[in-house]
Structure 1
């Protein structure tokens, strides 16, 4: 189905299962297809909702500029369509978006996040503050591959040889297809700044923070920092998992089902 956001943007939405609404939000280079496996695992107990964030796959973007408020309005439209209240799971930058939505007062009942990519170690490399403007320029010029390479290199920290391997792989066209949405991921993460601890501490709903015990140390540290900042938050480590857990949804689904149930 399609849901129309506040500014007229059309969001492509899938649903599966019956019960309490549970919305899944992917991070950078993810759309509703990449969370479909997790949705299928959770469909026995929930009405699982997945959607393409604006500028991705089958969702358009009618805004004049990139603003976090645009994506908050999108999530608000999805929540409203499915009854006005929902639980939410966010992966990576989708986790940061979900937390920001709670802080801004969206009617989210319970929240689970997987490895929100905040910077909590001042010793780690940081992106230049102009990375978002450069990304926007590349997207505006139609240079999707350039935008993907910039995001991979400066925001994620993928080495040149790793990016070259991706360019030669089958997944590269999919990654390039998500390029118009990358400035939104950068805006919600703000990788040039430390994690906004005081803002996150304002989350007042039950929160589950999850990381894989084989993930990058920075992502594990960020997840632990989120759990420490939110009063009453629960922290869990998944054995044998890393940031690519969406490719192995059966490893994550039982923990989410227990938390949201």
Structure 2
């Protein structure tokens, strides 16, 4: 199916496309991505499921009314779930998984399951916490037109990439694409507030009975394992699985490994 659009509850246009057949699954993007960014995993999933990919607000063909409010993103997902019959599982890599968790908690039985690849909670001292002023600083940089600086700030603070490596990354065409979506670093930063400060996850943020599969690359930083196990401690039906030989990029660069685990989990 080519690009379609719907009007979300607040009047915002949301662009999406649907492929495949079977149980419905919605791909939720992470920071600085539109729906094409996870095209590899969406395409493989569509061999097994009905897969809806969409541009989160502020990205691609979707609108971006201000001020940004994370609650509207849950309304967007509610409308998208209606498109595929009123019930769907959600799959996401990295920070997008936190939006998926929030949506599952808010929408109840409409979300049939969650498939999360390395949600980036920081729950202990296994890595430094995010700066307390992270969101405000990103918003300030974007407001001043310093989008490239906002990307650099995200890379060094959120991803802990050494500054000397970032200098080389700026020469890649993907840098300009990230800069164009730099405002979304603050959007997802708001969703993640209170979940990356080095303290245990709050037990009252989510109420989710649906099954949750959390995948972690065996070669990823240890804090991702800590994050996955922390989620398993506070939700009733969480399975944590390590993917041999994979790291944080697997959701995008090795989608087959992720999809194999998802298909196996659904078939249990």
TM-score of the alignment, normalized to the shorter chain, above 0.5: yes
Gaps of 5+ in 1: none
Equivalents in 2 of 1:121, 1:69: separation in Å? 27
Equivalents in 1 of 2:8, 2:14: separation in Å? 7
Q: Residue 260 in 1 paired to residue 262 in 2? A: no
Q: 1:210 to 1:199 in 2, by over 3 A?
A: farther
1:165-195 CA distance string (max 9 Å, x none):
2111221112112212111111112233635
Stretches (4+) displaced over 4 A: none
Q: Residue 99 in 1 paired to residue 104 in 2? A: no
Equivalents in 1 of 2:8, 2:175: separation in Å? 29
Q: 2:222 maps to which residue?
A: 217
Alignment of 1:202-241 (within 5 A): 202-241=207-246
How many angstroms does 1:143 deviate by? 2.3
Q: 1:6 to 1:89 in 2, by over 3 A?
A: same
1:78-126 CA distance string (max 9 Å, x none):
1122222111112111111111111223420111111000011136322
How many angstroms does 1:210 deviate by? 0.8
Gaps of 5+ in 2: none
Give the conservation status (yes or no) of the 8 Å contact 1:212–1:238: yes
Q: 2:60 maps to which residue?
A: 57
Equivalents in 2 of 1:195, 1:31: separation in Å? 31
Which of 76, 79, 96 is 2:81 aligned to?
79
Q: 1:146 to 1:80 in 2, by over 3 A?
A: same
Q: 2:24 maps to which residue?
A: 21
Give the conservation status (yes or no) of the 8 Å contact 2:124–2:198: no
Equivalents in 2 of 1:260, 1:5: separation in Å? 29
Which of 162, 166, 177 is 1:163 aligned to?
166
Equivalents in 2 of 1:206, 1:86: separation in Å? 12
Which of 11, 27, 39 is 1:8 aligned to?
11
SS in 2 for 1:104: helix
Q: 1:176 maps to which residue?
A: 179
Indicate the larger mover: 66-75 or 244-253. Answer: 66-75
Equivalents in 2 of 1:200, 1:242: separation in Å? 28
Q: Residue 39 in 1 paired to residue 42 in 2? A: yes
Equivalents in 2 of 1:76, 1:152: separation in Å? 31
* Equivalent residue pairs, number: 260
